């Protein structure tokens, strides 16, 4: 009787032990993995390739913003124009227009923002830490990219309006096409506006990447 009882108890233990191991394994598997490594997986849903792409976007955005500033601040020229048969000297400079000054200010701010984010991304990439450490940080960067993207759109649109007026003149008046005698000035402004809109596109691409990042993060 006692021998049969011991064998039965041993059989029950032998049956129960694998079940307890299986439960422990399941607890340390999906649940333990989600709690232990969920933060790192949520902050790095795409791996190193996405972080390198983010660094490249920041580099390009900084370069295009600096180019927009450089071409605008170097846009100045002196020439002559004929109005009603009179030849008048004219001089054009970027600082004569508030729209051009606004473009320079916004582009410089975007260049500084891109440089700051670039330094942060490179430092985290070299330390092999997540490029975005938390959701709050991701939301902050996303908001900054959005604000600067809209500011670049407004600056480019305002500068485009002034440039279009310089090229077409005003109808039914003697105001001529100033871009004919001031071709170098208008070309510099046009290139600056192009880089401004390109910087806006790069900021929008960074914002989209951050939205996808946030949608796939778990913390």
Closest by Cα among 90, 106, 108 to 98: 106
Q: Which residue has the higher pLDDT, 155 or 177?
A: 155
What's the pLDDT at 47?
66
Q: How far apart are CA 94 and CA 2, in angstroms?
A: 103
Q: How far apart are CA 100 and CA 191, in angstroms?
A: 13
What's the pLDDT at 84?
67
pTM of the model: 0.71
Mean pLDDT confidence for 77-94: 75
Q: What is the mean pLDDT of the chain?
A: 76
Q: Which residue has the higher pLDDT, 109 or 52?
A: 109
In eight-state DSSP terms, residue 95 is G
């Amino acid at each position: 009787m006692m021998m049969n009882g011991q064998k039965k108890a041993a059989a029950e233990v032998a049956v129960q032990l694998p079940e307890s191991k299986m439960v422990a394994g399941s607890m340390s598997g999906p649940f333990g993995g989600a709690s232990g490594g969920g933060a790192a997986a949520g902050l790095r849903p795409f791996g190193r390739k996405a972080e390198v792409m983010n660094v490249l976007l920041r580099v390009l955005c900084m370069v295009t913003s600096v180019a927009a500033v450089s071409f605008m601040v170097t846009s100045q020229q002196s020439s002559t124009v004929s109005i009603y048969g009179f030849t008048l000297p004219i001089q054009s400079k970027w600082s004569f227009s508030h729209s051009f000054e606004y473009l320079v200010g916004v582009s410089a701010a975007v260049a500084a923002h891109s440089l700051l984010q670039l330094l942060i991304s490179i430092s985290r990439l070299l330390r092999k830490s997540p490029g975005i450490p938390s959701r709050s940080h991701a939301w902050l960067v996303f908001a900054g990219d959005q604000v600067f993207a809209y500011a670049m759109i407004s600056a480019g649109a305002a500068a485009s309006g002034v440039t279009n007026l310089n090229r077409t003149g005003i109808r039914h008046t003697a105001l001529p096409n100033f871009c004919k005698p001031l071709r170098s000035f208008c070309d510099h402004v046009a290139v600056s506006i192009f880089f401004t809109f390109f910087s806006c596109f790069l900021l929008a691409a960074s914002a989209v990447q951050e939205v996808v990042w946030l949608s796939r993060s778990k913390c």
